[in-house]
Each structure stands twice: as structure tokens, then as C-alpha cells.
Amino acid sequence: MLKITDLVKRYGKGDPVLKNLDLTIEGESVVSIIGSSGAGKSTLLRCINRLVEPTSGSIVLNGTELTTLQGRELRAARRKIGMVFQSFNLVDRLTVMENVQSGRLGYISTWAAVMRRYPKKDIRRAFELMERVGIAHYADKRADELSGGERQRVGVVRALMQDPEILLADEPTASLDPKTSEQIMGLLRDLAGELKLPVLINIHNVNEAKIYTDRIVGMRYGRIIFDDKPDSLDQEAMDQIYSGSPHADRSTDMKEAS
């Protein structure tokens, strides 16, 4: 279970990008976060694995408070949080297998990592997952030889190799064509079910959010103004989510907002 309480993030002295945000994700549900660019979707996701440092508030994942962790403890917590990125963020000059195994970097010894001597069970797991998403035959290819959809599959497998307790996806389909985009969304949904994994997806495509996710969270400049089943997202709610201006919304009183 992921429980976010009263989360605030501001960059420098500016208006807060996240304003006293509360969000709870239970079970193995697939949750999508929608909202216009700059609403704070990306920042929210990055606060969870601390790629972005939250200003205040609390984020608890299965009993572990994430906001106060440092060094070794932070890295141990990050192992349990998989992340999939918009531009895949693979290391182009490494092979698909090396990219996939880099999801295990938090577990294996430095020597094994440098020498590429991965544990047998990690290799078996990698082939299983790659077979599952249809990229096993690319194992020895360099990552930059693959197409966009295939590269994102590598990204997904890398995240799953971490044996995560939650999967974060930051606009995982925004760099892909419509067809591939649907395949990846379908894959994320199916994997969530198969691996009993909660998935949190930032997404611009509202249609895909409705089709592939169990719950939609609508953000408007720093706060959550919609949180319900996809069926309840009507035109009025959509207009609410995609209106407003960044400055006016962010600078209004913070307490009144939540």
C-alpha cells in the first residue's frame, strides 16, 4: 500500500508544484494520473522514488516512510519501486540483456555488475520476462537497434527485474505511435494483474486512461481535483481538470486547496 499524506513540493522560492496532496493506492490496482502539462504529475511520481526531493509531507510504502531515508536505506527502498520513463532512458550502447540486468544493480555485488557475471536466477528471470513481452530474441542486440515499442518493453522489463512492490510509469506511451501505445498500456495492465503489482501511470491520453486503468486521478496545478472510477469521468470533470492557469492555481491559499 502506498499512502501519501500532505505532500508539498516547491522548487526554490516559487509557487508550490504540489500542494498538500493526499493519495492512497491499495491492492494491485492500475491507477492513472491525468492533467495538463505542468500540473505536477511527473513531480509527484518522482517524489515517490526521491528522484525529486519532497519539501514536506509523508510518503509511506508498505510501512516504510520514504521521505526521510538516506544513502544505503534510500537505495534499498528504491529497489522496491520500479519506474518506466517516457523516453525509455535505456543505455543505448549496452545490449538489451545488460539494460534488463541493470534493474538488478541494487541487488548484485559491484564485482558481478562490472564483470557482467549475473546470477543464474536473474538470467532465467530476465529471459522469462523478455519472453513474456516478446523481446527475448533481442537479448544480445544493442538497445539503440530496437524500435520505440521494443525499447519501452526493455524499459518495462528492467523495472520488473527489480522485483518491485509498486510500478511507476511516467508517460510511458507519449513517445510511441497510437498502436504501439495501446500495446504497452495493455501490457502494463496485464502485468499488474499477473504480478499482483500496483501501477501508477502518468498519462496524457485520456482515452487510454479510461480503457486500461481501474481508477483515474485528475490533477490541476498541484492538487488532486478528481479521483474516481473511469466511468465517472464526464465532460464536466474533464473541463475542470484541463482548465485553470498555472500561476493562479498554484498561488491561491494552500489550506483552502485541500
Binding site for other proteins (CB under 8 A): 49, 51, 74-83, 85, 87, 89-94, 98, 102-106, 110, 113-114, 155, 158-159, 162
- Locate the DSSP E strands across 106-214: 166-170, 199-202
Smallest separation (angstroms) from other proteins to the CB of 257: 29
What gap in Å lies between CA 54 and CA 8, rounded to an integer? 6
Cβ within 8 Å of residue 11, ≥6 positions away: 17
What gap in Å lies between CA 192 and CA 30, rounded to an integer? 7
Smallest separation (angstroms) from other proteins to the CB of 118: 12
Q: Which is nearer to other proteins, 8 or 51 (CB)?
A: 51
Smallest separation (angstroms) from other proteins to the CB of 87: 6
Q: Which is nearer to other proteins, 165 or 249 (CB)?
A: 165
Q: Which is nearer to other proteins, 108 or 136 (CB)?
A: 108
Smallest separation (angstroms) from other proteins to the CB of 6: 24
Smallest separation (angstroms) from other proteins to the CB of 237: 31
Q: How many CB atoms lie within 10 A of CB 3?
A: 16
Q: Which is nearer to other proteins, 125 or 223 (CB)?
A: 125
Q: Which is nearer to other proteins, 47 or 257 (CB)?
A: 47
Smallest separation (angstroms) from other proteins to the CB of 4: 18
Task: Please say whether the beta carbons of 17 and 11 come within 8 A.
Answer: yes
Q: Which is nearer to other proteins, 51 or 238 (CB)?
A: 51
Q: Which is nearer to other proteins, 20 or 173 (CB)?
A: 173
What gap in Å lies between CA 206 and CA 200, rounded to an integer? 14
Q: Encode burial over 240-249: b for 16+ CB neighbours within 10 A, e otherwise.
A: ebeebebeeb
Which among 242, 234, 226 has a CA at the least distance from the CA of 31?
226
What gap in Å lies between CA 220 and CA 243, rounded to an integer? 8
Smallest separation (angstroms) from other proteins to the CB of 115: 10
Task: Please say whether the beta carbons of 45 and 71 come within 8 A.
Answer: no
DSSP structural state of residue 213: -
Could you tell me how far CA 44 lies from the centroid of its own chain?
A: 10
